[in-house]
Structure 1
Amino acid sequence: MTGSNANLLADPAEVRAHLIASAKAGSSITYSAMLGHLGFAFSRPKMRALCAVLGSVDREANALGEPELAVLVVRQSDGLPGQGWWVAGGADNHGHVGTWDGPAARRLVERLQAEAFEYWSGADR
């Protein structure tokens, strides 16, 4: 990695490729599974470092006019993104007010995931 990506846990292009594969398959991926794909065992520090990469991936998706992908990375316990996603803009960017684990949060996440699934399911992508 070079430039501004040099201090990231993983290459954003590699993470993006895993997320696009998940989106094409119509499924989310847990933090643990994503870290495993990248060659790391799960730990809280690694998970937080992954969040920085996910932010980079979503900035690129936004610049390309694509749906966000970080929303596909979820906690194993409840299938929702972790605090990092919500704090980094998941709540504010989508006008979400309230808890990050209630029915409204789940509806938002499911809607955003469905947008990614639909976008990436196209055969020409």
Structure 2
Amino acid sequence: MFDPTEIRALLIETARARQTLTYGALLNLLGHAFTRPLMRQLCKVLDRIDEDGRVVGEPGLAVLVVRQSDGLPGQGWFVSRTGVYDDLPLEWEGTEARAYTQARQAEAFDYWEAP
């Protein structure tokens, strides 16, 4: 349903602008209204994009997609990285999660910085 190439391109543009997108905003850009089933499908694509990028040494892009309520990625973003990254915070909310998220976002911003 979702085209990983299209989403990756949108996220690279977002990184170059040093911005984030909410899950709802990304779904809207893709022509969909926010629903939980669509968000779950989107998250699977985001995980795939990150895994493909990790294999070639790129920082994650899914960290740029955040909840409107607190500006952090959803719980699934943190859980899907368990066992892959050894520096994950113990909680997926709060100060430690925010600092971790901002550091990963800065990596994406810097990596994709427009020449």
TM-score bucket of the superposed structures, by smaller chain: over 0.9
TM-score normalised by length of structure 2? 0.93
- Deviation digits for residues 80-107 of structure 1, max 9, x if unmatched? 0001101111686242242211100000
Residue 45 of structure 1 corresponds to: 37
Query: 1:91, 1:97 within 8 Å by CA — same for their partners in 2?
Result: no
- Deviation digits for residues 31-52 of structure 1, max 9, x if unmatched? 0011011111001111111000
Across the aligned residues of Structure 1 and Structure 2, the Cα RMSD in angstroms comes to: 1.5
Q: Which has the larger radius of gyration?
A: 1
Unaligned runs of 5+ in 2: none
| Residues 24-103 of structure 1 mapped to structure 2, 5 A cutoff | 24-89=16-81, 93-103=85-95
SS of match in other structure, 1:100: coil
Q: Percent identity?
A: 50
Query: 1:48, 1:84 within 8 Å by CA — same for their partners in 2?
Result: no
Output the amino acid matched with 1:50: L
Unaligned runs of 5+ in 1: 1-8
Q: Which ranges of 4 or more aligned residues in structure 1 deviate by more than 6 Å?
A: none
- How far the C-alpha of 1:122 sits from its partner, in A, is 3.8
- Give me the whole-angstrom Cα distance separating, in 2, the residues matched to 1:59 and 1:97: 19
- Give me the whole-angstrom Cα distance separating, in 2, the residues matched to 1:51 and 1:57: 10
Residue 116 of structure 1 corresponds to: 108
